[in-house]
Amino acid sequence: RRCVTSDLIITCVVPHEGYRLYFATLRSKPKSTTNTHYFCTDDEFVYENFYADFGPLNLSLLYRYSCKLNKKLKSFTLTRKRIVHYTSFDQRKRSNAAVLIGGYAVIYLKKTPEEAYRSLISGSNASYLPFRDASFGTCSFSLTLLDCLQGIRKALQHGFFDFETFDVDEYEHYERVENGDLNWIVPGKFLAFSGPHPKTKVESGYPLHAPEAYFPYFRKHNVSTVVRLNKKIYDSKRFSDAGFNHYDLFFVDGSTPSDAITRRFLHICEGTDGALAVHCKAGLGRTGTLIGCYLMKHYRFTAGEAIAWIRICRPGSVIGPQQNFLEEKQAAMWLLGDSERSQKAKLEERAVSNLITSMDDLNLNSAHNGNMCRSPSSDHLQEVTHTLTHTFTLTHTHTHSYTHTHTHTHTHTHSHSHSHTHSVARLMVCLFYPPGGADRWRTESDSGRQTESFKEPTPPPPRHHRSPEVLTPQTEGVLQRGGRQCQWMNLTDCFLSDWTR
């Protein structure tokens, strides 16, 4: 890493293929030379502010910048040249430019946020103006360059975006007010959008959309639930009659949610199949605040990372005291999330252990019964369970011995590893007590002698949507112990029902 400073230039190196990529702050526009190529994006990628906010630049601009820089680094004519991204001494433009090149270093050069940040602050007078919320007046929370880089890294780790498949045209189309004013914060889970109105119309030059305007997009993207955080402007039945779940969790514009509302929101999110479309009046402050709570609880985002990522997806989100609220709730959300994940892991561990124990007992009982009085069904069940124990490979090594009695007795000692995979556990349940009994797998061999073979059970029918209001295992399926019946059911419900009692 090398840093050069003078009255005219502050240059910091972002390492890439022998130090080809540089970031500079210049007072005047330079000319490219035979050894150096300069480029600037200050006037190309511009932040559209609401009030006193000035960044960070949104996800589509980060994508376009990355494409631009990738093209330069791969250009044959620039192969032997240093690539210098320069910006001006305008502190706002400089901070946005730093997010672009720092984000690129994290996404494409595989630098940690801290490594990229250290490169960008090398040398003297290299601090960056923190970002602020979309309001006027004194800002009570500073969003730093490092927060933005860490938010990008955390979102990348959890698969919230992938520039290999990112549809920049779709992003830029739907973020426009006339096209819905909506943005995905967590693709497939959280869609933030501006509040619908009773009628679709243009009022004072501002496009307004009725609930029906969103139906095609919601259905296409598997949105099953709408959460309204502002006062009632439209009739919620217009969504519910169209097959969407609808919830009202009102709290005052610009304020923070109560603990009861926060818990209720998290409960709805955790019990909902499909994506949630969340809105307040503008879909910025209250909407971003509650989604931020979910990010902190389930993905362990810091408050700064959550605010940064939400604003990169949907500029202007989380306003005023809502920023401090997220900061205050961070520790509680982390603790709550850690506790629930730990409890869930223990339940899954116990459930899989019970399944394995039951399988071992079934093997022993089958062998004993076969020795006393062999029957076609017991032969079949023994073969199926024997095949099952030889077929599935799991994590946590577990060694056990068991005896099979055929024409003579063999003693086998096997070492199995057991993993808590949903598909294996679901198959185990259905193999123990197959609907219709073991006879469903009987086939005739070519020689006419009756043999036994395993056929994979028919895939379960599509699951009906389950309202978050009903969170009991009985809604998904029933497992009757004693070998009589097994219906397809969600694995978590299985863990939380008979096998854990």
Query: Which residues are part of the catalytic machinery?
Result: 280
482 touches 428 (CB < 8 A): no
Buried b (16+ CB within 10 A) or exposed e, 409-429: eeeeeeeeebebeeebbbbbb
User: Which residues are bridge partners to 13 per DSSP?
Assistant: 22
Amino acid at 468: P
Handedness of CA 221, 224, 229, 230 (dihedral sign): positive
- Tokens encoding 251: 């709290």
The residue among 437, 422, 348, 355 whose CA lies nearest residue 389 is: 355
**What is the DSSP secondary structure assignment for residue 329, as one 8-state letter?**
H
* Cα angle, residue 135 at apex, residues 52 and 51 outer, rounded to 5°: 40
What element of type H or E holds 26? strand 21-26
First-to-last alpha carbon distance for the chain, in angstroms, is: 60
Residues 6+ apart with CB under 8 A from 413: 399, 400, 401
Roughly what angle, to the nearest 10 degrees, separates helices 145-157 and 303-313? 80
Contact 271, 303 (CB under 8 A): no
DSSP 297: H
Rounded to whole angstroms, the Cα distance separating 51 from 62 reads 22
- Helices (H), strands (E): how many in the chain? 14, 18
CA–CA separation, 215 and 210 (whole Å): 10
Give ∠ CA 139-154-192 in degrees, rounded to 5: 65
Q: Which run of H or E residues covers position 151?
A: helix 145-157
Phi, psi of 393, rounded to the nearest 5 degrees: -110, 130
**Structure tokens of 278?**
């969340």
